[in-house]
C-alpha cells in the first residue's frame, strides 16, 4: 500500500517537472518567434544591394518612366537593369567617397555580369490582377498610388494598397466606366 502511494507521489512530482519543462520550452519558443520578425523588419534600407536614392535622381530631372519604362506599356513597371544604370554610371562618378563606393558596386555587378537583386516592396497577392498600362494611359500619376517617391531615398516598405483603396478611385470614374471598374472579375481573374 505504502509502496504504491510513494509511487503515485513520485509520478505526481515528475509530472509537474514535465509541465514546468514544457512551459519553459513554450516560453522560449514564443520569445524566439516574437523577436525574429522585429529583427528582420528594421533592415529595409540596408537590405538593398546598392544605397539607391530616388531623390538624387529625380533632383537631376530624370523621369520616372526613364527607369521604369515598362509602366506605360504593360503590367509591371519593373526595376531598371544594371545596364540601364551603367548608361550613366559608366561616366557619372560622384565626388563623395561613400556615394562613389555605392556606384562602384554597380560597376562591379556589371563587370561580373550579375544582376542587382532589389527587394520588392509593392506586392499584391497573386489573386489580384493589376496592370500599370491602363492607369498611365488614363493619366493617373505614379504618386497617387506610390506616394511621393521622388523625394524619398527609398520608397517606404510598409505601404499597403488595399481593395478599398483601388475601389475608391474606380467608383469615382465616369459612369459609363464604373460598371466594368467595380466588377470583381476586373481585378480578380
Exposed, middle or buried, 144 (CB in 10 Å: 0-12/13-18/19+)? Answer: exposed
**Residue 161 and residue 124 in contact, taking contact as beta carbons nearer than 8 Å:** yes
Q: Which is nearer to ligand HEC, 4 or 189 (CB)?
A: 189
Q: Which residue from 30, 66, 104, 178 is in contact with ligand HEC, where contact means CB under 6 A?
A: 66
Q: Which is nearer to ligand HEC, 29 or 47 (CB)?
A: 47
Q: How far is residue 159's CA from residue 152's CA, in Å, rounded to a whole number? A: 13
Q: Which of 125, 108, 109, 126 is nearest to 117 (CA)?
A: 109
136 sits near ligand HEC (criterion: CB under 6 A): yes
Query: CA angle, 38 as apex, 37 and 42 as ends, to 5°?
Result: 115
Site for ligand HEC in 90-129 (CB under 6 A): 92, 94, 99, 102-103, 106, 118, 120-125, 128-129
87 sits near ligand HEC (criterion: CB under 6 A): yes
132 sits near ligand HEC (criterion: CB under 6 A): yes
Q: Which residue from 60, 83, 112, 158 is in contact with ligand HEC, where contact means CB under 6 A?
A: 60
Amino acid at each position: 500500500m505504502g509502496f504504491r502511494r510513494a509511487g503515485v507521489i513520485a509520478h505526481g512530482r515528475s509530472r509537474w517537472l514535465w509541465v514546468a519543462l514544457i512551459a519553459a520550452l513554450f516560453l522560449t519558443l514564443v520569445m524566439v518567434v516574437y523577436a525574429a520578425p522585429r529583427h528582420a523588419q528594421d533592415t529595409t534600407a540596408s537590405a538593398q544591394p546598392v544605397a539607391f536614392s530616388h531623390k538624387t535622381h529625380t533632383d537631376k530631372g530624370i523621369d520616372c518612366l526613364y527607369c521604369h519604362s515598362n509602366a506605360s506599356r504593360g503590367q509591371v513597371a519593373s526595376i531598371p537593369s544594371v545596364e540601364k544604370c551603367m548608361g550613366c554610371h559608366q561616366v557619372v562618378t560622384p565626388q563623395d567617397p561613400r556615394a562613389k563606393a555605392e556606384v562602384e558596386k554597380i560597376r562591379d555587378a556589371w563587370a561580373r555580369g550579375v544582376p542587382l537583386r532589389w527587394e520588392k516592396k509593392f506586392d499584391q497577392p497573386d489573386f489580384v490582377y493589376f496592370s500599370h498600362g491602363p492607369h498611365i494611359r488614363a493619366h493617373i500619376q505614379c504618386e497617387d498610388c506610390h506616394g511621393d517617391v521622388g523625394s524619398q531615398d527609398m520608397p517606404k516598405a510598409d505601404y499597403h494598397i488595399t481593395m478599398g483603396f483601388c475601389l475608391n478611385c474606380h467608383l469615382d470614374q465616369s459612369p459609363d466606366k464604373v460598371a466594368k471598374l467595380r466588377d470583381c472579375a476586373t481585378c480578380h481573374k
